[in-house]
Amino acid sequence: MFDVVPDVPLVTVIIASYNHAPYIEASINSVLRQTYPRIELLVIDDGSSDNSVALLSQLQAAHGFDLRVQANQGLSATLNAAIARARGTLIVPFGSDDIMLPHRIATQVEYLEGKPEVGVCSANIETIDHQGNVMGAREQRNRDLPFRRLDFDDLFLGRKPGPAAATLMFRREALDKVGGFDPDIRLEDIYITLSILRAGYCIDVLGEVLAQYRDHPTNTFKNGRFMVENVLKTYARFRDHPEYEAVCMRFRNSMFLKYANRDKPLARTTLRDIPLRHWNRKTVRGLWRLLASRR
């Protein structure tokens, strides 16, 4: 689709969907409405048990994008397989519950021109609810951030706000250099961005909104145990960094505080893995929440 202008880079957009029937049509339509003239759209249903396959089949018949249906393989393995058959020099994995603004692809392609050191281009996001309504100011933590260039330490040490997954555009050569996504890590965006930074590229995050991120009950980040397990598994791939232990402990302290009054078993397990020498203000605040909560 859109593959009619040979003198501009071909961009491959990959949408891997799992049980996102309420959101997938809006996601696909936002790709179809891009102003950029040369896009290859690959859609993969990864073993959905809702009515996604029937809906996707109807959309494919109407719009002619590449659709594949498979037994569940997980997002990282699915993305690797899609990248292997993608024809684009720029790769955009895109959430099946998110929405691109119409000028998103054109803006990022134009920005990347002449900047071979930038392995990934990202941008700001606007948060919407499950019905597509723009959420209030308190939920818009990544809407008004300024432009920033990230190196490995910026992201690993949390020195600057990281890139938004809903706006990632990768140079294919950068993905190839690091061997793609790791199927053993289910939180794919943190791993791949750190890997590309470690390989010597930088990530530029544009200071404008280019996508809408949908906040709904099944968002990955709302699964605390999943987040703790996979973020720490990701960090372990970079355990040779001199600040590795401190990075892990800061993350554990943040998760302990977050879940102290939401998930006491998870909070207690997390606290047991924080040695006393790594306690900080978040630990103390988390202990207060843990003791004060009746849940």
Helix (H, G, I), strand (E, B) or coil at 242: coil
Tokens of 222: 């709302």
Q: What share of the chain is helix, strand, coil (3-state, %, to 5)?
A: 45, 20, 40
Full pLDDT tens readout for the chain, 295 residues: 555 556 899 999 999 999 999 999 999 999 999 999 999 999 999 999 999 999 999 999 999 999 999 999 999 999 999 999 999 999 999 999 999 999 999 999 999 999 999 999 999 999 998 888 888 877 777 788 999 999 999 999 999 999 999 999 999 999 999 999 999 988 889 999 999 999 999 999 999 999 999 987 766 666 789 899 999 999 999 999 999 999 999 999 999 999 999 899 999 999 999 999 999 999 999 999 998 876 5
Angle at 43 between CA 42 and CA 47, to 5 degrees: 140
Right CATH number for 11-214 from 3.90.550.10, 3.30.470.20, 3.40.50.1980, 3.10.129.10? Answer: 3.90.550.10
Q: Give helix then strand counts, H and E, for the chain.
A: 11, 9
What gap in Å lies between CA 180 and CA 102, rounded to an integer?
A: 27
Domain boundaries, the chain: 11-214, 220-292
What is the pTM (predicted TM-score) of this model?
A: 0.92
Q: Is 105 in contact with 26 (CB distance < 8 Å)?
A: no
Cβ neighbourhood burial of 146 (10 Å; 0-12, 13-18, 19+): exposed
Element housing 211 (H / E): strand 202-214
Q: Say how far residue 218 (Cα) sits from the centre of its chain.
A: 15
